[in-house]
Structure 1
């Protein structure tokens, strides 16, 4: 899936992925027992924006309605986040 910078719309490449920051987010996710999501942290070298993509993954036992409710809840959390030069985007991957 192609991801673009939320500020300048430049397409991200694999070299823009911050493996350290992604690893930190994933470690925090696992430590908090959060399942069905995956975090990817990208840094745009063109405009210095940092984007966190929150992929919503369907759970094996989840109905479509439950998936949608979880996605909506995550979007609300992401909308309420505010940081300088960091934007978070929820990316639904595949509805069950």
Structure 2
């Protein structure tokens, strides 16, 4: 039997969100919103990018920028959170050669 209040049970319901400056307000409880550029699911815990004027969410800064420029929509690449090139060993070696 499925218990609606069980925190271990994955609920898959889209939230209704009002996007504010530097924050957002959940109007209808849910677990995710959709990226306006790619259609990907964005869990509310990972929601970082949105457009206040147009009240739409984005899965990444890249998706927001591409949508703003009117570039074709495509599925987002996985966010691997790699450090910037200049912060890793390969970047430091390249900078020595310049």
RCO higher in structure (CA 8 A, sep ≥6):
1
TM-score, with length taken from structure 2:
0.23
Bigger Rg, structure 1 or 2 = 2
TM-score, with length taken from structure 1:
0.24
The answer to which structure has the higher helix fraction is 1
